[in-house]
């Protein structure tokens, strides 16, 4: 429905006709509940172009709009706010069009639309996924789904950090203390088993440090000279040299980890279209450095190291190649970005889902790619997010006190089970149905709690308060969806025909909220913010519940009104399901 566009055009036209002055734009807001009206024109910004009394200007424009816009039936002015009353048919016409559209709010991407690559997860292969990865995965997956819904082609990707000293520490500890155990022989998920050896390395390394200090070494000397660390460093050199035994062990232990990750991703409900591995990308970018020197983007220092001078851009000098010719992370990221566009030539932009401790790194990366002259570098975005804390405080993975993603998801399901049993809502469910419902509620609570918050903000996540059937929570919204399904099941008459009725005030309010859905998707995509979708859905549910409490649906005697209300309830449920799918959350048909 383009009534707002029509009004904007007519307000500009009216302003010119009344005062012979052009205004560049019109500011709108929703009419406050205590005043009559459906849409409000804010008069105050117009005083920049025409001095005068805002109430009088509002009156003049109100009269003009009633005379020139058929859909405006009345107006009132409160201070500098012009409240406009819109004809019911505008809302019923919108609803009939939306109701006929199964993909309401979504735009199908055109074949020639440039694609966006969204990177998220990107774990190390020396330990299981943890609470920080949960926020990362949920954000990245949701942003990818939202961008897709907004009308763009999307590739979901991750770069797996499968090389370096961290994986060598796990490998060495397994060699020394593992007695050949495997995921099969222990019954442990592969990522858990490898993670245990990362913790084991740290424990034994600390013992060696303590021993060396007792022998008279300084702490710094002890840390460098501990035999375990030296052995891990030698193992890394052998891996880089392609030593067959070390590479074989590396492949075996990484394969255990990937199997474990796969289970976690499946349980979390996220997926990827393509994977990159650091072991394949760590040499990328070195050839770009040579080209960058020729272009004058990079310069060489006396020791042979290569740098990019970003001081004129308000940053500092950044190394891109060490004096011994080895690459740094920045070099690798430059090369990987370029490689991705080679692999997927339709990519016109990228989104990197990485914690806010890397803000500076991405500022530098994007600036260097811009200086190298890649047109797609204008469309790079760092989806920077804050830490997630639990009430018990921060965690460290090498000490084994990390909050494990699998355990957190299991705890959410258990919490949902406890609360559901206390509420006693599950008569007539089989055990299998109950377990599926607990998982849907528990994971829905987790995802909604994390995604309803602006990504930039730090989160204190409390599992118990997230599984609440009241307030701005996933379960509250899921419960409303299930309630609507119950209404629809009871509607045994044919409610498929389009009807014209005089709208109840509560129906109109609900239609106004529904109408915001397509625009909310576009805004959420533009701002890389699932929080906009989450909070829109909560507002829709609140509006539905107000409608449900004030208006009879199945008890309505007028058949057309009854048909319309069932249709409206169903469309609300469909929109909840659609919005929740963008957040990666399932909805239960009953609960």
What DSSP string runs through 310-365?
-GGGTS-EEEEE-TTS-B-HHHHHHHHHHHHHHHSTTEEEEEEEEEGGGHHHHHHH
What are the CA-CA distances from residue 467 to residues 136, 299, 424, 440, 453 (Å)? 21, 56, 15, 11, 16
pLDDT digits (tens, 9 = 90+) for 240-257: 899 999 999 999 999 999
Looking at residue 398, its pLDDT comes to 47
Q: Average pLDDT over the chain, rounded to whole? A: 93
Looking at residue 465, its pLDDT comes to 85
d(CA 97, CA 91): 10
Give the strand pairing for 81-86 and 39-42.
antiparallel
Residues 450 and 583: beta-carbon distance below 8 Å: no
Give the strands of the sheet with 317-321, arranged side by side.
299-300, 306-309, 317-321
How distant is the alpha carbon of residue 580 from its chain centre? Answer: 12
Q: Nearest-5° angle of CA 336, CA 451, CA 467?
A: 140
Tokens standing for 540?
Answer: 């829709």
283 pLDDT band, cuts 50/70/90, is confident
d(CA 329, CA 364): 12
Q: Which residue has the tokens 């070099």?
A: 331
- Percent of the chain exceeding pLDDT 70 equals 98
Looking at residue 402, its pLDDT comes to 67
pLDDT digits (tens, 9 = 90+) for 95-138: 999 999 999 999 999 888 899 999 999 999 998 998 889 999 99
pLDDT digits (tens, 9 = 90+) for 205-232: 999 999 999 999 999 999 999 999 999 9
Tokens standing for 495?
Answer: 């409610």
Mean pLDDT over 53-80 rounds to: 96
pTM of the model as a whole = 0.92
Across 443-580, where does the E strand assignment appear? Answer: 459-460
Beta bridge partners of 299: 307
- Percent of the chain exceeding pLDDT 90 equals 86
**pLDDT beyond 90 at 463:** no
Residues 214 and 221: beta-carbon distance below 8 Å: no
Select 3-86's CATH number: 3.40.630.10, 3.40.1160.10, 3.30.565.10, 3.30.1360.70. Answer: 3.30.1360.70
pLDDT digits (tens, 9 = 90+) for 393-406: 544 444 445 688 99
d(CA 412, CA 392): 16
SS3 per residue for 119-130: ECCCCECCCCCE
Spans of all domains in the chain: 3-86, 164-260, 405-582
What are the CA-CA distances from residue 399 to residues 29, 72, 247, 264 (Å)? 52, 67, 27, 21
Q: Return the minimum-mean-pLDDT range out of 23-27, 423-427, 506-510.
A: 423-427
- R_g (Cα) of the chain, nearest Å: 30
Tokens standing for 386?
Answer: 């804050």
Looking at residue 500, its pLDDT comes to 87
Looking at residue 254, its pLDDT comes to 96
- Which residue stretches of 20-87 are H helix? 54-68
Residues 305 and 340: beta-carbon distance below 8 Å: no
Tokens standing for 56?
Answer: 């009088």
Q: Does domain 405-582 have CATH number 3.30.2130.10?
A: no
């Amino acid at each position: 429905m383009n009534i707002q566009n029509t009004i904007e055009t007519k307000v500009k036209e009216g302003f010119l006709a009344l005062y012979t002055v052009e205004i560049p734009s019109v500011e709108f807001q929703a009419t406050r509940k205590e005043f009559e009206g459906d849409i409000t024109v804010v008069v105050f910004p117009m005083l920049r172009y025409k001095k005068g009394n805002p109430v009088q200007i509002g009156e003049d424009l109100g009269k003009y709009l009633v005379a020139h816009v058929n859909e405006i039936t009345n107006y009132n002015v409160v201070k500098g706010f012009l409240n406009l009353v819109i004809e019911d048919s505008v809302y019923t016409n919108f609803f009939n069009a939306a109701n006929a559209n199964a993909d309401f709010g979504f735009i199908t991407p055109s074949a020639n639309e440039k694609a966006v690559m969204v990177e998220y997860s990107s774990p190390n292969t020396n330990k299981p996924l943890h609470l920080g990865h949960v926020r990362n995965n949920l954000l990245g997956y949701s942003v990818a789904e939202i961008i897709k819904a907004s009308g763009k082609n999307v590739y979901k990707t991750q770069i797996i950090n499968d090389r370096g000293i961290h994986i060598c520490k796990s490998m060495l500890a397994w060699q020394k203390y593992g007695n050949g155990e495997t995921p099969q022989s222990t019954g442990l998920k592969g990522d858990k088993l490898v993670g245990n050896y990362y913790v084991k390395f740290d424990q034994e390394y600390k013992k060696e440090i303590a021993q060396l200090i007792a022998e008279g070494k300084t702490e710094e000397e002890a840390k460098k000279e501990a035999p375990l660390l030296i052995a891990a460093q030698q193992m890394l050199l052998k891996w880089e040299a392609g030593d067959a035994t070390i590479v074989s062990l590396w492949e075996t232990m990484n394969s255990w980890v990937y199997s474990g990750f796969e289970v976690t991703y499946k349980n979390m409900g996220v997926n990827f279209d393509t994977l990159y591995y650091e072991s394949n990308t760590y040499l990328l970018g070195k050839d770009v450095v040579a080209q960058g020197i020729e272009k004058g983007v990079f310069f060489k220092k006396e020791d042979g190291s290569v740098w990019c001078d970003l001081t004129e851009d308000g940053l500092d000098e950044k190394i891109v190649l060490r004096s011994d010719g080895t690459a740094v992370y920045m070099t690798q990221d430059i090369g990987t970005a370029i490689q991705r566009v080679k692999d997927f030539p339709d990519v016109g932009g990228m989104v990197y889902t990485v914690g806010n401790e890397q803000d500076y790194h991405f500022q530098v990366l994007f600036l260097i790619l811009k200086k190298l002259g890649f047109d797609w570098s204008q469309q790079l975005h760092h989806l920077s997010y804050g830490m997630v804390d639990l009430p018990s405080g921060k965690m460290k993975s090498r000490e084994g006190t990390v909050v494990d993603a699998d355990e957190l998801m299991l705890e959410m399901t258990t919490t949902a089970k406890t609360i559901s049993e206390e509420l006693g809502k599950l008569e007539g469910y089989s055990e299998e149905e109950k377990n599926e419902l607990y998982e849907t509620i528990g994971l829905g609570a987790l995802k909604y709690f994390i995604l309803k918050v602006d990504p930039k903000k730090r989160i204190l996540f409390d599992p118990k308060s997230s599984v609440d059937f009241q307030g701005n929570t996933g379960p509250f919204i899921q419960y409303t969806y299930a309630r609507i399904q119950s209404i629809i099941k009871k509607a045994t008459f044919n409610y498929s025909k389009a009807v014209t009725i005089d709208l109840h005030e509560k129906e109109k309010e609900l239609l106004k909220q529904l109408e915001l859905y397509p625009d909310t998707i576009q805004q959420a995509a533009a701002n890389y913010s699932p929080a906009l979708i989450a909070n829109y859905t909560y507002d829709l549910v609140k509006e539905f519940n107000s409608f449900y409490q004030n208006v009879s649906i199945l008890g309505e005697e007028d058949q057309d009104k009854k048909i319309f209300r069932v249709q409206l309830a169903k469309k609300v449920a469909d929109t909840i399901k659609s919005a929740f799918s963008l957040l990666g959350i399932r909805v239960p048909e009953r609960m």
